[in-house]
Structure 1
Amino acid sequence: MPNKQRGSTVFVVDDDPYVLDSTRWLLENSGFHTETHDHAESFFAAYRNETTGCVILDIRMPGMTGLALQNELVKIGAEIPIVFITAHGDIPQTVQAMKLGAWDFIEKPYDPRQLLESVERAVEWSEMRQDAQRRRALYANRFSKLSPREQEVAREVAGGRSSKEIARRLQLSPRTVETHRYRLMEKVGAGSVAHLVLMLMEIGEEVRIPE
């Protein structure tokens, strides 16, 4: 079940009042925080890019259609998953939405269990993605606070080289390397070499393993 404490929101965007109310009832009784909009323009005006969750979106609506809204979200760099609710015969629109990265397509009248399963997966992905972004930002900030020499040693340590090998490669004494190693591990909060490797890979640093 979703973690209500995470603050994720499932947005329901549909011009049919019955669909809005029934879907909101289904989601809220399953533990999801919801927000409903009866047209795409209303949702787009209220949406904040840092929000986690997903959008349940009718593909056909008056005014801004579901596809048009998806295009606008792509333009602003939003990566919130979209679960499209489609009618039979919407194949061309479905293909277009898939190309833009739609999460799922569920045909009306939808199966409540199918919708809940899709939404739960989408919300979980959204939360994991935000966690990963925060983790990368944290690691990048820690790594940036290392001195240039400590960064150099960190890459060598992550590459699996011993202090003696690093000392020879960087023309330092083994004791100096050990000092740098201790300090950098403490600064970045790495509890092991394996942890350091994961941190560097997370922020896009190249880890070169000796042949």
Structure 2
Amino acid sequence: MHDPRAFLIDEGPLATAIEAHADRIPAGIRRPLAILSRREREVLRQLLAGHSGPEVAERLAISPRTVEIHRQRIARKFGLATVQAVIHLLYRSVRATP
């Protein structure tokens, strides 16, 4: 199992906040983070940094369709309908962390 901090990056304030509070993020949120594939974590990192799907595709040298597939898989692993809902959940979990 991955360290929940392993998916985090040095890009973007949300990723920084998640990294700072990774040990206090509820287990129900840490578990899906831990099972993301390496590429899914890379895509999520880029999305957390505020990049659009096409920008993520360009930055990671993959097709926009591949980014969309990763977005769908990320959302599914969190049990949510969209990756935007995942980002919102992560944001709320950091905001709620003392």
| Counterpart code for 2:73 | R
Distance 1:173 1:182 in 2: 15
Q: Flag structure 1 segments of 5+ consecutive residues without an equivalent.
A: 1-132, 205-211
Q: Flag structure 2 segments of 5+ consecutive residues without an equivalent.
A: 1-23
Q: Which residue of 1 aligns with 2:87?
A: 197
Report the RMSD for the aligned CA atoms in angstroms. 2.4
Displacement after TM superposition at 1:143 (Å): 1.1
TM-score, length basis structure 2: 0.58
Q: Deviations over 1:16-68 (max 9, x none)?
A: xxxxxxxxxxxxxxxxxxxxxxxxxxxxxxxxxxxxxxxxxxxxxxxxxxxxx
SS of match in other structure, 2:26 = helix
Q: Which residue of 1 aligns with 2:52?
A: 162
Q: Which residue of 1 aligns with 2:30?
A: 140
Q: Which residue of 2 aligns with 1:183?
A: 73
| Larger RCO: 1 or 2 (CA < 8 Å, sep 6+) | 2
Listed as ranges, the matches of 1:52-131 within 5 Å are none
1:151 aligns with 2:41: yes
Distance 1:151 1:188 in 2: 13
Cα contact 1:136–1:203 (8 A) shared by 2: no
Q: Deviations over 1:51-94 (max 9, x none)?
A: xxxxxxxxxxxxxxxxxxxxxxxxxxxxxxxxxxxxxxxxxxxx
Number of residues of Structure 1 aligned to a counterpart in Structure 2: 71
SS of match in other structure, 2:80 = coil
Change (3 A) 1:141 1:184: same
Displacement after TM superposition at 1:188 (Å): 1.1
Change (3 A) 1:136 1:160: same
| Counterpart code for 2:31 | N
| Counterpart code for 1:153 | V
Change (3 A) 1:203 1:144: farther
Displacement after TM superposition at 1:169 (Å): 0.8
Distance 2:83 2:65 in 1: 18
Q: Which residue of 1 aligns with 2:62?
A: 172
Q: Name the structure with the higher strand share.
A: 1
Change (3 A) 1:191 1:158: farther
| Counterpart code for 2:88 | L
Cα contact 1:156–1:166 (8 A) shared by 2: yes
Cα contact 1:158–1:193 (8 A) shared by 2: no
Which protein has the larger Cα radius of gyration, Structure 1 or Structure 2? 1
